[in-house]
Amino acid sequence: MEKLKKMVAREALKYIEDGMIVGLGTGSTTAHFIQLLGKLVMEEELEIYGIPTSYQAKLLALESGIPIIDLDEADAIDVAIDGADEVDPDLNLIKGRGAALTMEKIIDYRAGTFIVLVDESKLVDYLGQKMPVPIEVIPAAWRVIKEELEVFNATAELRIAKNKDGPVVTENGNFILDAKFERIEDPLDIEIELNNIPGVVENGIFADIADIVLVGTKEGVKKLER
C-alpha cells in the first residue's frame, strides 16, 4: 500500500511548476508528496510556496525544506494536492479521517486545480459505502447535532482521541462527529444540508470540487478527470 501511495505522490509532481503556490494536504499519501516536493524544490532550486492544511502538513513542509505561507498571504493557490477516504464515480469525496477537513476544504476549494491522491481501495460505488462522514462541530453543540443527524438516517459517534483522554479536539478547537450514512445518493445536497445545521463548522463531503484523481493501482497510476 505504501508503494502505491508513493507512486501517486511521485506522479503528482508532474503538475508542479516553478513559481507555484501549492496547497499541501493532510494524511499519509500527501505526506509522501510533501517529502518528494521538498526534494524537488531543493534539487532544482524552485521558487515554490506551500500552504499547509494542518500542523502535520506544516511540520512536514518545514522539515522537507518547502517555504510556507499563510492562506491570507496568498493571492491565489495554483494547485492543491490532498488525499481522500472515499472517491465515488463522479469524483465526489469523503475526507477528514485526519480531522483536518475544514482547512482542507478551504484550501482545496480555492485552488486553481485540485488533485486528489488515493490508492484503489478508496474507490467506492457511492459515498458512505465504507466510511462515515466526519463533521466538525462547535463543542457545546455536539449532542444536539448528533440528534439532528437522525433526520438523515445517520448514526453519529463523537470521535474519541487515542493518545489523550476524551474527544479529539481539532486544530480549530472543535469536536468531530463521525456520521455513518446508509447511502449518500446526492452528495452535493447532503453537503449543503449538513452545513445548514447550526453548530456545524464544516463536513467531510467534498462534492464537485476534485478536478483530477490519481489512483495508485498494481498496474500503475490511473488518472480520473471530471
Would you tell me which residues interact with ligand 5RP (CB under 6 A)?
25-29, 82-85, 95-101, 104
Q: Shortest distance, CB of residue 99 to ligand 5RP, whole angstroms?
A: 6
Active-site entry in 11, 86, 104, 191: 104
Question: Least distance in Å: CB of 19 to ligand 5RP?
Answer: 26
User: Given the complex with ligand 5RP, which of 95 and 146 has the nearer CB atom?
Assistant: 95
Closest CA to 191 of 207, 208, 174: 207
Q: Pick the closest to residue 176 from 146, 209, 205 (CA basis).
A: 146
* Residue-wise DSSP of 9-62: HHHHGGG--TT-EEEE--SHHHHHHHHHHHHHHHHHT---EEEESSHHHHHHHH
Query: What values do phi and psi take at 113, rounded to 5?
Result: -130, 130
Annotated catalytic residue 86: no
Q: Which is nearer to ligand 5RP, 141 or 214 (CB)?
A: 214
Q: How far is the CB of 148 from ligand 5RP (least distance, A)?
A: 23
- The residue (of 97 and 146) whose beta carbon lies closer to ligand 5RP is 97
Which residue is at the shortest CB distance from ligand 5RP? 27
CA distance 207 to 144: 25
Q: Which residues contact 172 (CB under 8 A, 6 or more apart)?
A: 102, 103, 136, 201
User: From CA 138, how far away is CA 145, in angstroms rounded?
Assistant: 9
CB of 140 to ligand 5RP, least distance (A): 23
Quick one: 78 or 82, whose CB is closer to ligand 5RP? 82
Residues that are catalytic: 104
